[in-house]
Homo-oligomer: A and B are copies of this chain.
Amino acid sequence: MNELTISYEDFIVKFRKTITSLGLKNSNQREYVLKILFQSNSHLSVDEIGQEVLSKCSHKISTATVYKILKLLEELKIVNCITIGKNDKKVYELNLKSHHDHMVCQECGNFIEFYNEDIEKLQKEIAKKNNFLINSHTMIIYGICDKCQ
């Protein structure tokens, strides 16, 4: 589920082109956030991204800026955001991975990612039956993971 098919270098070059083609300006902050997301295997919250930028890039980044950057990246479909769990925390991940859904352990908070072709197919069928045009979907299974039982 986690094999990225693109190197960070290629990814960032592509990102710079995207930014430029939109008439926007790139910034170190944007690349810091992307680097952190690229390196991370897990889903990160806004605060976690800020902390990681500080510790791994030695740069204090404003929380407001992180929000602004993530908003842009979401619009560009470069990151995904999911709202998870009891406290409805929002977490972000790069959109490089193929689509997948999540099982969340209510004990330890860890995620298991999964993908099931048949479920995707069934979703499309249901949508078609209701003449509903699918844009995206989220599916989260809550429970207790192997370790925590």
Interface residues of chain A, those whose CB is within 8 Å of chain B, are 83, 88, 90, 103, 105-106, 112, 114, 116, 118-119, 122-123, 126-127, 130-146, 149
Contacts and interface: CB of A to CB of B under 8 A. Distances in A.
A134 B141 contact: yes
Contact of A123 (B88, B130, B141): B141
Given A142-B134, A149-B133, A118 B127 contact: no
The copy count of this chain in the complex is 2
A130 to B, nearest CB: 6
Contact of A119 (B90, B114, B119, B135): B119
Contacts of A83: 83, 88
Nearest to A106: B135
